[in-house]
Amino acid sequence: MENTGRFSDRVADYVRARPGYPDAVHVGLLDGGALLPKALIADIGAGTGLSAELFLRHGHRVIGVEPNAAMREAGLKHLAHFGAAYTALGGSAEATGIAATSIDLVIAAQAFHWFQPAATRAEFRRILKRGGQVALIWNDRQTDTSAFLRDYEALLQSHGTDYREVNHRNIDAARLAAFFGSGAYREFVCTYVQNFDYEGLEARLLSSSYTPPAGDPRRQPMLQALCDLHARHAVNGQVAMVYDTRVYYGALPSEL
């Protein structure tokens, strides 16, 4: 499936169960000099607004760029209470539709691994103000720090449709260095936790692009395995999904 359409049938689960982003991300970018208090932010691959919400809560204006119409509309609905502070465009990372030299900080949360790096770099440089920076953010799910997390990872490996191919962990230090170029990037990590009953855990699984869609014969066996997994590991009906929220940020100089 074309990348921009992968989540069209998963919007409700995405809104319900995908993790947000901790306030420590905002603090880290402020402390690192990548973010000013009144910065105008472009959120590329904004989806349903989970990453934009963090910055809107802290008083920033955000332009969300999201090519998937269903997700873009869900984001506008989710963030409507912020009023004119949030606007959304139907562009892409490679062609955002944002005016040149207008943005203080570009963010891409849980999205950069879908982009074409060279064209994206050129577009980010076009829309950034002088001195502006880019922050690439991922909620990196821990895979081996509890029995539940180990079994959940094994479930994705055995039942996911293309889990290995689209995993964001394919973005390694070499690819990040190539993107940021001679302007060496910096990074920091913070922790984020979601607690799920079974229904929440099922929504979290079904929000992922690599789970079989409705009608696929692989879907029900995956859900049965998930139900068994939750029954084995739940404490008072809850399991804990733990993330290392990783932030990579820096400028994009003209020379690579």
Give the H/E segment covering residue 89: strand 86-89
Q: pLDDT digit of tens for each residue in the chain (256 aa)?
A: 444 445 555 677 777 878 899 999 999 999 999 999 999 999 999 999 999 999 999 999 999 999 999 999 999 999 999 999 999 999 999 999 999 999 999 999 999 988 999 999 999 999 999 999 999 999 999 999 999 999 999 999 999 887 876 655 567 888 999 999 976 899 999 999 999 999 999 999 998 878 888 889 999 999 999 999 999 999 999 999 999 999 999 999 986 5
Domain of 108, in residue numbers: 3-250
Q: Domain tally for the chain?
A: 1
Pairing of strands 128-141, 40-44: unpaired
The model scores a pTM over 0.95: no
pLDDT of residue 3: 47
Does residue 69 belong to any structural domain of this protein?
Answer: yes
Q: What is the dihedral of CA 237, 11, 123, 134, to 10 degrees?
A: -20
Does residue 189 belong to any structural domain of this protein?
Answer: yes
How far apart, in whole angstroms, are the C-alpha atoms of residue 96 and residue 99? 9
pLDDT of residue 162: 78
Q: Give the CATH number for residue 111.
A: 3.40.50.150
The radius of gyration of the chain from alpha carbons, rounded to an integer in Å, stands at 18
Does residue 256 belong to any structural domain of this protein?
Answer: no
